[in-house]
Structure 1
Amino acid sequence: MAPQHGDRKQDGNAVAEPVMRWFTWEEVAQRTGRGPALQERWVVIDRKVYDISHFYRRHPGGALLISSHAGQDVTDAFVAFHVDKFLVNKYLKPLQIGELAPDQPSIEPTKNKMLVKDFRELRASVEKMGLLEPNKLFFFLHLAHILLLDTAAWLILFYFGTSLVPFIVSMLVLTISQVQASWLQHDLGHLSVFRKTKWNHLLHKFVMCHLIGASAKWWTLLHSRHHSKPNCFRKDPDIDMHPFLFTLGKKFSVEVSMSKKYMPYNHQHKYFFFTLPPLLFPTYFHCHTFYIAYTKRYWVDLACMLTFYIRFFFTYGSLLEMKSLLAYYFIFRMLESSWFVWVSQMNHIPMDIYYDKNLDWVSTQLQATCNVEQSLFNDWFTGHLNFQIEHHLFPTMPRHNYWKVAPLVKSLCAKHGIEYQCKPLLTAFADIVHSLKNSGELWLDAYLHK
């Protein structure tokens, strides 16, 4: 149902103005950018219908992020991601073309209405409880310990020399600093350290670009899409990069068997140990962050990234010979990569992986995430990503409040008969390998009998 236009007077001239129309969920569902309505992309937020057909390419979070929701209700995703609602509404207002007809339900027919209703009430309670308010002292101390470790790594070599023992100890200290910086930039990228968006962006650029040596905008571009549709093939970039080396999920593994054979996937649980964990950062991420920053012209990010490499090679180059310097750099990147991959994948790879089913926000996040038991070590070691469920449901929540909202989320899951998975840390690591083994066996069985 296309919107009609009326006329209004402006400076004596007639100006076309869109007239709001009523739409059905069926009409919205057809505007996905595919099929008959190839060029049209609509979304629904709080019963209002928006045409993002032209805007999606200018979306600050990336075109693929918002277009992955085309034809769907994005109310809960919109609330979850946007901190400054007043600013965002300025962009939304010109895009509105109508509203859902009075006879249309407020919640998309394909979604669990009671679960959505209860979650929105929980979200309101979370806001009233102040659980979205950050504790700046927590994050200041976290940044301070990162900077101290970063400095200590160099001082160890400076005072104790470059023999094997100080060389190894220095690498381990720098690895810890880098991984903890990764957890902090993750907080900043989710706008959970400051209430003002601009301060999150500024410190994010400092931590990600200068302390780590990667593009802040590159990370946001990929990670926002992951949160939007976790474990959804062709919508979650974390899953899309796997099929060349790995096949994931039960249904998807069977589908992969029908296409060209890329790898001996039945052995993927074995070669996983010496491929993705140690090599993701030193190889793929290293190249990809520079490629995206250059092709998308993130010039400020590129300049800030260069300050990391100048600082690193100047300070450590004054103590180490070139071969030792390159070995030092590559090894600590491998250690950092291994730590990061095991932690980031333990919550997702063992879970359901398939195409987007257009489920409600809660179901989408819960079917793709699981938790790891809380302890002081687990919280520090994982950057509080052991609370992956709470993090995915409330992505802008400061991580020091996850433990407070966890009982409320558990109660919501229990009420609706949804499994809330929480496991020991080592079990979570083992489940990565087990899920890869199971997926590989499913692939082999389907491949041999196709």
Structure 2
Amino acid sequence: MTASREPQTFSRKEFEKINQQVKDGDKDAKKYIVIDNKLYDVTDFVEDHPGGQDVLLTHVGKDASDVFHAMHPDSAYEILGNYYAGDLEPLPASVDKQVENSAQFAAEIRELRDNLRKQGYFHSSKLFYAYKVLSTLGLCAAGLSLLYAYGRTSTLAVVASAFIIGIFWQQCGWLAHDFGHHQCFQDRKYNDILVVFLGNFCQGFSLSWWKNKHNTHHASTNVHGQDPDIDTAPVLLWDEYASAAFYGALDEEPTMMSRFIAENVLPYQTRYYFFVLAFARFSWAAQSFVYSFNTGAINKSAALNLYERTSLVLHWVIFSYATIAWNSSIYNMILFFLISQATTGYTLALVFALNHNGMPVISAEKAETMEFYEIQVVTGRDVSLSPLGDWFMGGLNYQIEHHVFPNMPRHNLPKVKPMVKALCQKYDIYYHDTGFIKGTLEVLKTLDVASNMSLQLSKKAF
């Protein structure tokens, strides 16, 4: 009888040496992640990661325990076991009070999560989601019916229809977000079916494009160089890291276009911010269309790939048909297109900006020293609103709670907000809660600070 082999224990120095090889670009270096003080070799798994390889790469060499538990189903634990490489030497006890506070805060959040799961807070109300889907589809029916009945005779009807369709797309976005986080059904395939229907077909946004981008955002929220949601250069710069990186790159043979943007565009971004938002929806739709046909399904499934691409094509065919066939003039066609796109652009982007823009941006080095849950709280902004405001923002005004518990159904986030807020106060973790207008002014102030920095950097660069 063969004795069972003891698992290998890696020292912190061994682990750091391997990680340094990865940072140095050594192609043969092993890629490890840490979950619950155990090492997992994900070198051969990166490309097959169902949530996208970008999100996994942001946590190579790091403790991914909290992000793993927050964003994965129970079935993922079985897959994880296939990549177990050994145990990691425990960290020595910290004597830094702030670090200790953060660690205790994370421990209590984990305990709260487990208790909330037992109490059913992660179970969705199917009636709530049925109402949300049907009422949202009702907006589409109302908008298209108005256009069909009066689009050839009334410009006012064209404008009203375009606005309703724009709001319909926005609300589809919030629902696709909920189903994309698997908040409704325990069986994830039903969530994905609805994401493709509401996201790809109804809204024109690819499920795979969104998941690849959004999962990375959740894993490395407001971390410079890792969070794609704050990587909006050269259109907008949100922080000193992005400004320094953009203008620093100009030292290496700047083109006429990059120089023009650096000198005459970015220093004035606060002035054109609201103009840019009008094109946000069309830009995201174009990006997701290209992603779907160039990269394909995030889980490499041929069936999902076909479902996504067919839905995207049908979205644009039906929208184009309604725009052309139910309007009497080129003028009204253009009007319908621009107003519907701009309505969605504004109503999505204004909400997205409130979520994290203007909140602290963290360097990759600093993020490695912080607990995952602390990062989620200090980089998020909650917005206190009326029930109508909750509807408009799709529950994303509970941004901190959503980032702490991303799989929790939207309708339960208001219930857990006081619990999360109380733990933040207990451990002196900054929790930002404000109003819609004040939050928007904070976003504009952040843009203005970055604008002034851009102006100074452009003078030095040229």
Q: Does 1:126 align with 2:133?
A: no
SS at match of 1:272: helix
Uncovered stretches (5+) of structure 2, i.e. residues with no partner: 251-258, 297-304
**2:378 and 2:431 in contact (8 A); partners too:** no
Q: TM-score, normalised by structure 1?
A: 0.89
**Partner residue of 1:367?**
378
Structure-2 separation of matches of 1:64 and 1:375: 37
Greater Cα offset, 249-258 or 216-225: 249-258
Structure-2 separation of matches of 1:444 and 1:328: 38
Cα deviation code 1:382-441 (max 9, x no counterpart): 001111100111111101111111011111110111221111111111221111001221
Letter matched to residue 295 of structure 2:
K
**2:159 and 2:335 in contact (8 A); partners too:** no
**2:151 and 2:327 in contact (8 A); partners too:** no
Q: Does 1:353 align with 2:361?
A: yes
**1:46 and 1:106 in contact (8 A); partners too:** no
**Partner residue of 1:90?**
78
Structure-1 separation of matches of 2:155 and 2:32: 60
SS at match of 2:325: coil
Structure-2 separation of matches of 1:60 and 1:106: 35
Deviation (angstroms), 1:156: 1.2
After TM superposition, the structure 1 = structure 2 runs for residues 154-303 of structure 1, keeping only pairs within 5 Å, are 154-162=144-152, 163-240=154-231, 242-260=232-250, 262-263=261-262, 264-275=265-276, 277-282=277-282, 284-297=283-296, 298-303=305-310
Structure-2 separation of matches of 1:8 and 1:34: 39
Q: Which of 128, 133, 158 is 1:143 aligned to?
A: 133
Greater Cα offset, 350-359 or 255-264: 255-264
SS at match of 2:86: strand
Q: Which of 53, 64, 70 is 1:74 aligned to?
A: 64
**Partner residue of 1:430?**
441
Deviation (angstroms), 1:115: 2.0
Cα deviation code 1:328-373 (max 9, x no counterpart): 1233112101110011111211111243222211121122211101
Deviation (angstroms), 1:301: 0.7
Structure-2 separation of matches of 1:25 and 1:378: 48
Letter matched to residue 21 of structure 1:
Q
Deviation (angstroms), 1:22: 0.3
Equivalent pairs, count: 430
Q: Which of 8, 20, 38 is 2:7 aligned to?
A: 20
Letter matched to residue 138 of structure 2:
L
Q: Which of 395, 399, 404 is 2:415 aligned to?
A: 404
**1:49 and 1:97 in contact (8 A); partners too:** yes
Deviation (angstroms), 1:321: 4.3
**Partner residue of 2:341?**
333
Structure-2 separation of matches of 1:19 and 1:447: 59
Uncovered stretches (5+) of structure 1, i.e. residues with no partner: 1-6, 10-16
Structure-2 separation of matches of 1:53 and 1:448: 45
For the aligned residue pairs, the C-alpha RMSD in angstroms reads 2.4
Deviation (angstroms), 1:187: 0.3
Letter matched to residue 164 of structure 2:
V
**Partner residue of 1:319?**
326
Structure-2 separation of matches of 1:420 and 1:267: 31
Letter matched to residue 23 of structure 2:
R
Deviation (angstroms), 1:255: 4.9
Letter matched to residue 295 of structure 1:
N
Q: Does 1:34 align with 2:23?
A: yes
**1:47 and 1:100 in contact (8 A); partners too:** yes
Structure-2 separation of matches of 1:106 and 1:40: 28
Cα deviation code 1:29-63 (max 9, x no counterpart): 44443227653211111121101111111111111
Cα deviation code 1:74-96 (max 9, x no counterpart): 111001001x21x2122211210
**1:134 and 1:195 in contact (8 A); partners too:** no
Cα deviation code 1:282-319 (max 9, x no counterpart): 2x323211111011233321111112223333345432
Pick closer, same or farther for the CA change 1:316–1:268 going to 2, 3 Å: closer
Structure-1 separation of matches of 2:11 and 2:117: 31
**Partner residue of 1:3?**
none
Letter matched to residue 197 of structure 1:
R
Structure-2 separation of matches of 1:26 and 1:115: 27
Deviation (angstroms), 1:18: 8.2
Cα deviation code 1:162-185 (max 9, x no counterpart): 311111111111111111111100
Pick closer, same or farther for the CA change 1:159–1:22 going to 2, 3 Å: same
**1:31 and 1:70 in contact (8 A); partners too:** no
Structure-2 separation of matches of 1:19 and 1:333: 60
Greater fraction helix: 2
SS at match of 2:196: helix
Deviation (angstroms), 1:64: 1.0
Deviation (angstroms), 1:197: 0.8
Structure-2 separation of matches of 1:390 and 1:344: 15
**2:196 and 2:307 in contact (8 A); partners too:** no
Deviation (angstroms), 1:265: 2.6
Structure-1 separation of matches of 2:242 and 2:17: 25
Q: TM-score, normalised by structure 2?
A: 0.87
Deviation (angstroms), 1:218: 1.2
SS at match of 2:34: strand
Greater Cα offset, 253-262 or 146-155: 253-262
